[in-house]
Amino acid sequence: MRVLYELAGAEDRRFSPFCWRARMALAHKGLEAKFEPCGFGEIKAKVGFSGHDRVPVLQDGARAIPDSWAIARYLEDSYPDRPSLFGGTAGMGLARFVNDWTDRTVHPALARLVTPDVYDHVSPEDRDYFKKSRETRFAMSFEQMRSERPKHVPNWMTALAPLKATFEKQQFLTGEIAGYADYILFGAFQWARCTSPFQLLDPDDPIYAWRERMLNLFDGLARKADGYPV
């Protein structure tokens, strides 16, 4: 039995960018799993058995794998007969870069725009924790963050510039078929889509068209999730 422990917000909304990476990777491999919801306050109790205090954690039989990157590596190594996530060692090396770039550049730029909206979708019992931890992280209140949002849009557009250039020329980061590098990046957009009505992309942006293609994958897996179709 395979179980993916995922972050869940109010009304069971699944918005974690890292959990979306793992969800898309499982779908790419054609592997079934049970998706176990964890509120922020439940994570330690539910995934403590793995020695980790963050989600996603994948349990596959007797194995427990924490961390989205480790999960992707595990799936690739354990299910080599299924479609490849990386397309070989060179692809894996480049996906590693996309992982770090997304964590260090895309997420921080996006967090400035959507974090107060994420708060609106956090479970009531997790709201105090979320507000306190995020307001401390950004050293400002959510009210201030909302009012400063327009100031941070140019930084977001700058971060996206290389993607725009790439998607003018190819369908996916990994070429003609989506691969794990796309799922890493897509997790960020899905985090926003599931929580924020803020329009991040113009419909004529090539990144918008890529996001549409990603939303269509696996019978619209990500499109079916509760969110804002912006």
Ligand X SMILES: N[C@@H](CCC(=O)N[C@@H](CS)C(=O)NCC(=O)O)C(=O)O
Residue ranges that bind ligand X, judged by CB under 6 A? 7, 16-18, 40, 43, 54-56, 67-69
Cβ 116 to ligand X, closest distance in Å? Answer: 16
Closest approach of Cβ 71 to ligand X, in Å?
7
- Between residues 172 and 183, which has the closer beta carbon with respect to ligand X? 183
Of 98 and 167, nearer to ligand X (C-beta) is 98
Choice between 68 and 195, CB closer to ligand X: 68
Q: Closest approach of Cβ 93 to ligand X, in Å?
A: 17
Q: Which of residues 94 and 157 has its CB atom nearest to ligand X in the complex?
A: 94
What lies within 8 Å, CB to CB, of 41 at 6+ separation is: 125, 126, 129
Tell me the C-alpha distance between 162 and 76, whole Å. 27
Q: Shortest Cβ distance from residue 146 to ligand X (Å)?
A: 20
As given in the structure block, the two tokens for residue 143 are 């009210």
Side-chain-side CA neighbours of 75 within 13 Å: the count stands at 33
3-state secondary structure of 205: coil
**Dihedral over Cα of 22, 25, 26, 27: its sign:** positive
Point out the residue whose Cβ comes nearest to ligand X. Answer: 54
Give the three-class secondary structure for 152: helix
